[in-house]
Structure formats: C-alpha cells, structure tokens
Structure 1
Amino acid sequence: MPKKVDRHERRTLIADALMRVAARQGMEAVSLRHVAAEAGVSSGMVQHYFRTKDEMMAFAMAVVRERTQARVTEAVVGLGEEPPPRLLLRTMITALLPLTEESRADGRVALAFLAYAAVRPDAAAGLNEDTRELVAFVAGLLPGPYAEERAAGLLALMEGLGIYLLGGQYTADQALAALDAQLDIVFETAGAAPARPDVAARRPAGRA
C-alpha cells in the first residue's frame, strides 16, 4: 500500500530549506532549484507543492510566524495570570527579538522577506494585517493618551533593535537596555510606573 504523504509536513520541509538558503545567502539566492537541492528533493517536487517563488515565500513566513508565536506564548505563559502590562510587554518584545540562534535564523528570513515584499505589495498584504493587530494589542496595554501612536513607536524600536542585533551593531545587553529605557519613558510619562534606578546607571557619560 503506498505510503500516505503528509502535505503540510512536506511543505514545511521545503519551507525550512528555503529559510536556510535565505539565511545563508539572502533572498536573491532563493530559487526552486536551490531550495530543492537544500531540501534533498527534486525541483519537480518543489513545484508540485509551490507553483511560484511567491507561494514558497508566503508559506515560509507563515512557518516563521508560527514559531515566533510559540516562543511568545511560552514566555508569556511563564508570567502567570494577569501580569503587569509593562512586564508583559517587555517579555513579549524580548521573545520577538533575535536573541537566540533559532530566533536569529528566523529573524534573518523575516528581514529578507521584508525586503522582498517591499517591491511586491501582494506579498506584503499579510504583514500589513499582522502589524495592525500587533499595534492594537500593544496599544491596549499602554496607559494614557495617544496609545496607538506610542505603540507604533515602541514596535518600530523593536524592529530597529532587531536589525541592529542581526547586523551585530548591538549586543543583547545593549538592545535590552534600550528597550527598558523606552518602556520606562512610555510608562513613566503616563505616571504608571516609578523610575528605575538602574536606567540612569546605563546612560553613557555626558548624557542627561
């Protein structure tokens, strides 16, 4: 009796191969042939599951989102029920930053996909919806007025820190210090959190 093929498992195998190629060589190196070679399957098999490169990219990003969501969920569950908003935000953003080998690999693929989607509006459609939902969620945790604008700024900081971490411009300690400083500003401005004494100690000499 022929072995039943798990379509999702096979597509995930191919998506994982795509992500390894993209992480090592950049998105320009991604092709049906290169992905097939990396996955150890034929080009025909890749084409059977993905008709175009865009389809492969969209599925690979869905895999990255699933992995990222799993990391965030695991980190947040560890906080217990009803954690303080600042702690919840810090934990969530820390889980989203590329601070581990696994998250760095996913982050390199996500960054490559952003560049790829920048000139392909159709490919960016899913990202746009994800961004709106994330901004709305973060805004719901922030005190005071202009919560949506401040949430957008906080997430923009997260994206910038992610790029600096991937590029080696920032260490993990530097990125987390910058995140803590911004969270202090966001919550202290609204009078929702006391000043933390360790923030001043982290500021470079000569700065107020």
Structure 2
Amino acid sequence: MPRQVDYEDRRRQIAEAVCTLIARSGLEAVSLRDVATEANVSMGAVQRCFRTKEDMLLSALEHISQHVSGRAEQRIAAAASPEAAATLLAHTLTELALLDEESKTLAHVWLAFATRASAGDKVAAVLHDTYAKLHDLITWLIRYGQDTGEVPRSFDPDGEADTLLALADGLTVHVLAGHHTPAAALNILRRHLAHLLPDAPEDA
C-alpha cells in the first residue's frame, strides 16, 4: 500500500523551506521549484499542499509567527517555579528581539514579511494578530509585576507594552543592519528595563 502522507507535517516542512529561502535570497526569489528542492519534495507535492504561491507564503508567515509567539510562551511555561516579573519580562523580551545567532534566520524572515505588508492585505492581518498576542503577553507580565510590587502602579501596562514591543522590534532591525551588535542591543534592552524593573537580572 502507498505510504500515508501527513499533510500537516508536509505543510510544515514546506513552510520551513520557504523561510530558509527567504532568509537566503529574499521574498521575491522564492519559487515553487526552489521550495520543492529545498524541502526535498516534488513540485506536485508543493502544489497539492498549496494552491498558489501566496497561500504558500502566508503559511510560512503563520508558521514563523507561531514560532515567535511560542518562544516567549515557552520561556514562561518552562519556569520551574514562579519567577520574579523582572526575570520573566527580561527573558521574554530577549526572546522576542531575536538577538542570538541561531535566531538570525528567523529575524531575516520576519523583517522580509514586515516590509512586504501593506494595510489591509493578508500578510498585514497575520502580522497584526501576532503583534496583538505579543502585546497582550507583555501587558500580562507588567501587570504581574505590579501585583508582586516590582512595577510601580503608576505605569500604564498597555502603554509600556507598546513601548517594549516596539523596542524589541527595532533592536531586531538594528542588529540585522549591523548598527548594533547583539550584545549592544541586549544592553539597550536592559537599560530600558531598568527604569521599569530596577531588579531586572543582569544575565537575562
């Protein structure tokens, strides 16, 4: 009997191949043929999973959006015991800024989609949903810090979340552009957190 194909796994495999190609050559260089080669599948297999190139690109964006959100959520879930808000917030923002070497591909792909988005299109809608989830997560962490007494009640959680998310995003761009090293970007992040959380860990 022919081997059963796990289409969800195949779609994920293709999405990862798309992300690799985008990081290597940019969005416009992605073709069905190159994706099939990178994913080590036939062009027919790609076409059975995705009707159009746009569908394929959107799937890759959703894949990477889930990965970006998941990094932060996994950091919180992996805590062996309830951690201080300073620790959780510092570590979460470090994950979101994609500053380490192994995050470079992820950062390139995220920026490629962000620059492609225009108001009202499907790419922008996926990005909007992802940023909304990340904003809610950071807001929750700040409120947690207010409950533990680490963050002053005078701070507006929504406003601070906007600032921190924009800072993390901006540092991603600065590192990719070579304006800052990952270490310098991390220091900028720590300095900003110091005004919000004086006890933020030095090793975040």
TM-score bracket for this pair, using the shorter chain length? 0.7 to 0.9
Question: Corresponding residue for 2:147?
Answer: none
Question: Corresponding residue for 1:54?
Answer: 54
The 5 A counterparts of 1:41-80 are 41-80=41-80
The 5 A counterparts of 1:82-93 are 82-93=82-93
The TM-score, its normalising length taken from structure 1, stands at 0.81
Q: Shift of residue 45 of structure 1?
A: 2.2
Q: Shift of residue 72 of structure 1?
A: 2.8
The TM-score, its normalising length taken from structure 2, stands at 0.82
Q: CA RMSD in A?
A: 2.4
Question: Corresponding residue for 2:130?
Answer: 130
Question: Corresponding residue for 2:157?
Answer: 147
Question: Corresponding residue for 1:159?
Answer: 169
The 5 A counterparts of 1:90-101 are 90-101=90-101
Q: Shift of residue 54 of structure 1?
A: 2.1
Question: Corresponding residue for 1:111?
Answer: 111
The percentage of counterpart residues that share the same residue type is: 35
Gaps of 5+ in 1: 188-192, 199-208
Q: Shift of residue 69 of structure 1?
A: 4.0
CA distance in 2, matches of 1:139, 1:49: 37
Q: How many residues align?
A: 192
Post-superposition Cα deviations, 1:51-87, rounded to whole Å, max 9, x if no partner, equal 1222112211222234334433443344433222221
Question: Corresponding residue for 2:17?
Answer: 17
Residues 139 and 147 in structure 1, CA contact (< 8 A), matched pair in contact too: yes
CA distance in 2, matches of 1:119, 1:39: 31
Match of 1:179 among 172, 189, 192: 189
Post-superposition Cα deviations, 1:20-60, rounded to whole Å, max 9, x if no partner, equal 11000011111223212322333232121111222112211
Q: Which moved more, 1:53-62 or 1:38-47?
A: 38-47
Residues 14 and 36 in structure 2, CA contact (< 8 A), matched pair in contact too: yes
Residues 98 and 165 in structure 1, CA contact (< 8 A), matched pair in contact too: no
* Structure with bigger RCO (C-alpha 8 Å, 6+ apart): 2
Q: Shift of residue 6 of structure 1?
A: 0.7
Amino acid at match of 2:195: I
Question: Which one has a bigger Cα radius of gyration?
Answer: 1
Question: Corresponding residue for 2:27?
Answer: 27
